[in-house]
Amino acid sequence: METTARVRPASARERAERAEAGGGLPTLEFERELPYDAYVRTDILHGLQRPLSDAPGEMSFLVITQVMELYFKLIAYELLSVQEALRTDRLPAALDALRRTALHLQALNASWNGLRWMTPADFNKFRDLLGEASGLQSGMYRLVEFRLGLKNEALLRPFKDAAVSDDLRRAFHEPSVWDAATALLARHGHDLPPAVLDRNHGCEYEPSEAVEQAWVRVYRDDPERARLRELGDALTEVSERFAEWRYAHVAAVRRSMGAKPGSGGSNGLGWLERSMARAVFPELWSARTHM
């Protein structure tokens, strides 16, 4: 609401009149703050970077970490749209949101390029000042994982007093994107057992042969249901882009700190490598063996 109050709406007619009055040149005089600053909140955004050292690489590390946090928020937002669209059988809307999500993940993954220069010597110049701060404590990243269907109740514990706590608990206990997609398959005539459709969504997902065979039929025997194949393709793209994120994270850790223990108490590289083994939308991948 505060941003809305700071930004004055303008119609297409007003924009055209302004362009004509200025001869096509940009407006350079404003009575109040710059409209761009009012909308983007640059006063806040550019005040958030507060390095703890004089190390030249810390600003890169801090800004890119904050950029990633913003992408996590955007991706979590899109995944919620996917869930709601699938639940209400709005398949075109779900496909649009999944395709946007894949593009956001692609941009998120490109963020790692800004840290490719960082060696252990570079990181060590400011690492000790981070204390116990670790990317494993990102609530927004956990929200992305929960909405994708990667759930581990122990990982809720650090966020009991965090601002994102309510969203995390809701996402943990509600059906994930994968659960919503599976329920949609059942509504479109695929025979899936109650153990899949009525399961406790707060438990870690166990792959199902029935779900696997449903996707086999969608791709191999279902020529009249092209939209379901489109859904499978869009989900696969998101899964693949997310896997790329995890691999890039592992590669960045190898490059910048090797196999040293992590800042947040984990064994660092080993924890991340084990996390990579948990597949997103697993039956979409295993089904390919049987197509």
Binding-site residues for heme: 249
Query: b or e along 193-207 (b: 16 or more beta carbons within 10 Å of the residue's beta carbon)?
Result: eeebbebebeeebee
Q: How far apart are CA 278 and CA 291, in angstroms?
A: 23
Which amino acid, one-letter code, is at 239?
S
| 126 within 8 A of 61, measured Cβ to Cβ | yes
Residue 206: HSE in the Cβ half-sphere, 13 Å Cα cutoff: 7
Nearest to 196 by CA among 93, 283, 85, 279: 283
Residue set of the binding site: 127, 249
Nearest to 112 by CA among 275, 251, 283: 251
Q: How far apart are CA 229 and CA 215, in angstroms?
A: 8
Residue with tokens 């995890």: 246
Residue set of the binding site for substrate: 127
